[in-house]
Structure 1
Amino acid sequence: MTDLVSDLLGGNASVGDDNADKGAVSDEFSSSEIKIVTAGFGGGGANSVNRLIKAGVKGTEFVSFNTDSQHFKIIDDRIRKVMIGKSITRGLGAGGDPAVGKKAAEVDRSLIEKEFQDAQLVFLCGGMGGGTATGALPVAAQIAKDQGAIVISMVTYPFNLERVRKVKAEEGIQELRKYSDSVIILDNNRLVQLVPNLPMDKAFALADEVIAKAIGGLVWTITQPSMINIDFADVRSIMGHGDVGFIAIGTGRGTDKVNLAAESVLKNKLLDVDFEGAGGAIIHVSGGSSLSLGDATKAGEIITERMDPKANVKFGARIIPGFDDGIEIVAIVTGVKGSSIIGKLDTKQRESASDPYSDLEMIG
């Protein structure tokens, strides 16, 4: 994991590249044929979107929604900035209250609808447990879904020491699941387990970078020519009914780079679940000019050996000039079970479904 952290935070691995492979096999899907919107909510979501645009990812529109006007000052000018709930918060933030975040999205619903208009695919990202993202993301997901988009939400889950935020996050994720086609969870506690000595600021930066890579890899291979393309229909078939999922990422160098990267993916899961039993996955391989089709397919084979034979798996690969002799694999795995987080969410869902009158007061 140490090498992976160095790659991600040191700039050795790339999300996007203006000089991507010009000799790709297929140019069937271009950014002009499908509208993709990537929207960050709150501070954490803005950070993820900021990393994507600085990495040069093309083929998606970028929007930052916030209740705190100050945060707009530190993100890239190429990101559309939309203040929500100004009449409620006066631009001072949600104060960590999801109810305020939800109300902010509801009162400015028309602003969100405008940004998502005609979008076929919407990525939503944010840090769960605070106010703006936790409250506003489910509203935004519902809006995007009502407008006909596939909605993929990528969110972070708080550290165990943040007990109050964890409760809020679980409630927010449960609500988000109702309206998202897939909710991809990055558990900050897994980062602690994988890189326990990483300073807190770098841990948050790593979480943002992983989300950026997952979104960036998908957007790139859908909209730009690649060695092996993943088209929108592939994304829809896997992520359209994915429910809860996770991101795994790995890098490798040298003569054994394929095995190293694939094994790194299997170890570096950012949610405490296994690949076994997963309903589907999108696996994206990136490498330099030396990346061969055999290397790319071998990497995918190593990872999918751990999965159910019936799992719906799609595979993409691209060449990035200047990537040196390394290889990077990003796996987005959906339909997983077994996580302590997912267990809590499913328990709450069953309790809610089994008692339809739980919110009514006793009379008599």
Structure 2
Amino acid sequence: MSKYGLDTDDGQVNYGKARFIVFGVGGGGGNAVEHMVQEGLNGVTFVAANTDRTALDNLTVPHKIQLGSEGLGAGGNPEEGRRYAEEDEDEIRSMLDGYNMVFITAGMGGGTGTGAAPVVARVAKEMGILTVAVVTTPFDFEGKKRMKSAKDGVSQLTELVDAIITIPNQKLLKIYKQISFTDALKKADDVLLHAVSGLVQIVDTADNVVINTDFRDVRTAMTAKGYAMMGIGRASGDDRARQAAEKAIRSPLLDDIRLENAKGLLVNITAAELMMSEPEEIAEALSSIADLEEGNIFYGYVQDESMGDEIHVTVIATGLTLDDRPKVAVQQAPIQNLQTAPAGHVSALESRQQAQQAQPQAQSVQAQAQPQTAPQVKTRIDVNSYLKSQQHNK
């Protein structure tokens, strides 16, 4: 059976801009990438890699790699998935060539995703590419064997990537009981969508905007080994800055992440107009999750006059650990019109309460700010001037 030809010509030329690629591995990874393609996300290259030829044929993803020569799947065996990926390692390497950052997405527990995703991660790291994994773990009803395989796969990936975001499918059953199974799975795919679009918003630029892009700041923040969260909070009206920041660090879908002592923090604020007090309000809301002494913290502000009264706060926190503390019964507020990318499983209020029990309240963030970027914006202003002016006025 013939394999897919490798086509790496996207018509993209790197004119001093960072280039992003999303690599969907296995059935779950392919579906996640297909979801992003259907949503029309721009500025990113999409690739699906699978041992199952039929599954690849059903996707509209522009770039496809059949792993192994048979095209019949891996039979749920991660070792087979790994072996097939290693057979096509040169093709994987060719596809990754020229990119600055790769998102690897896969469903953990099966054969191809679990076995082949670590191969893609290893190749990417050997090429010096900033590597982030966004993966799902199985439902409980899929059995203990599949869950153990998933945990082993996550463990392998964690050692290979710069940051990893884990989404337990089991949480879909608890959170989205009243929607269809297919729509619930798309909620997990949305985490990847928001993670990638958020990063592109921070780093990439619209063609009609003059931007001072600094991908090295992103690399510095993202290379703190460990788990990561990515969130986008939106709010308007009174107290909008604090509300948006707290929404950005709250997501019910993510694995149990301990939201404190983040070693890397990227914050991008987008608004038509930013009030003088709002950057400090955002910093105050985020102070409970950051390592203020040793963490690499970068702030940016993008002015977009089309935003009206709304403010967007995008947060990327890295260098986090799993939360193995006993869970405190806290009633969760209803989630309404909240669109987040990866964030912690607890609210910002709960996180702050836990932090207060462990140590004195952290002071507001005093960080060297670096302006970041977003698509379709008008004017860029350095938020550091806001933060410094607030400190001088104290």
Place the TM-score, normalised by the shorter chain, in its bin: 0.7 to 0.9
Which position in structure 1 is the counterpart of 2:87?
Answer: 107
User: Helix, strand or coil for the counterpart of 2:56?
Assistant: helix
C-alpha contact (below 8 Å) 1:227/1:318 kept by paired residues: no
> What stretches of structure 1 of length at least 5 have no aligned partner?
1-29, 342-364
C-alpha contact (below 8 Å) 1:44/1:208 kept by paired residues: no
Which position in structure 2 is the counterpart of 1:215?
Answer: 196
> In structure 1, how many angstroms separate the alpha carbons of the residues matched to 2:196 and 2:95?
18
How many angstroms does 1:194 deviate by?
A: 4.4
> In structure 2, how many angstroms separate the alpha carbons of the residues matched to 1:294 and 1:165?
52
> In structure 2, how many angstroms separate the alpha carbons of the residues matched to 1:257 and 1:228?
26
Amino acid aligned to 2:222: M
Q: Please, which of 25, 33, 41 is the counterpart of residue 25 of structure 2?
A: 41
Q: 1:323 to 1:46 in 2, by over 3 A?
A: farther
**1:86-137 alpha-carbon deviations (Å, 9 max, x no partner):** x2xx222222221121111011111101101232222211111122111101
User: Helix, strand or coil for the counterpart of 1:335?
Assistant: strand
**1:176-215 alpha-carbon deviations (Å, 9 max, x no partner):** 1222111222233444454454433222101111111111
> In structure 2, how many angstroms separate the alpha carbons of the residues matched to 1:177 and 1:69?
28
**Structure 2 length as normaliser, TM-score?**
0.68
Q: 1:252 to 1:71 in 2, by over 3 A?
A: farther
Q: Please, which of 229, 241, 244 is the counterpart of residue 258 of structure 1?
A: 241
How many angstroms does 1:152 deviate by?
A: 1.3
> In structure 2, how many angstroms separate the alpha carbons of the residues matched to 1:329 and 1:191?
25
Which position in structure 2 is the counterpart of 1:306?
Answer: 288
Kindly indicate whether residue 147 of structure 2 is the aligned counterpart of residue 183 of structure 1: no
Q: CA RMSD in A?
A: 3.1
C-alpha contact (below 8 Å) 2:245/2:286 kept by paired residues: no
Q: 1:146 to 1:221 in 2, by over 3 A?
A: same
**Structure 1 length as normaliser, TM-score?**
0.73
Paired residues for 1:81-120 under 5 Å: 81-85=64-68, 87=69, 90-120=70-100
Bigger radius of gyration among the two? 2
Kindly indicate whether residue 159 of structure 2 is the aligned counterpart of residue 167 of structure 1: no
Q: 1:213 to 1:267 in 2, by over 3 A?
A: closer
User: Helix, strand or coil for the counterpart of 2:166?
Assistant: strand
Which position in structure 2 is the counterpart of 1:273?
Answer: 257
> In structure 2, how many angstroms separate the alpha carbons of the residues matched to 1:80 and 1:337?
34
**More helix per residue:** 1
Amino acid aligned to 1:206: K
User: Helix, strand or coil for the counterpart of 1:103?
Assistant: helix
Amino acid aligned to 2:47: V
C-alpha contact (below 8 Å) 1:221/1:318 kept by paired residues: no
Q: 1:293 to 1:133 in 2, by over 3 A?
A: farther
Amino acid aligned to 1:119: Y
Fraction of identical pairs, as percent: 31
C-alpha contact (below 8 Å) 1:228/1:316 kept by paired residues: no
How many angstroms does 1:334 deviate by?
A: 1.6
User: Helix, strand or coil for the counterpart of 2:321?
Assistant: coil
Which position in structure 1 is the counterpart of 2:57?
Answer: 73
Amino acid aligned to 1:312: N
C-alpha contact (below 8 Å) 1:67/1:93 kept by paired residues: yes
> In structure 1, how many angstroms separate the alpha carbons of the residues matched to 2:176 and 2:300?
28
> In structure 1, how many angstroms separate the alpha carbons of the residues matched to 2:113 and 2:309?
39
> What stretches of structure 2 of length at least 5 have no aligned partner?
1-13, 326-394
> In structure 1, how many angstroms separate the alpha carbons of the residues matched to 2:304 and 2:50?
34
User: Helix, strand or coil for the counterpart of 1:278?
Assistant: coil
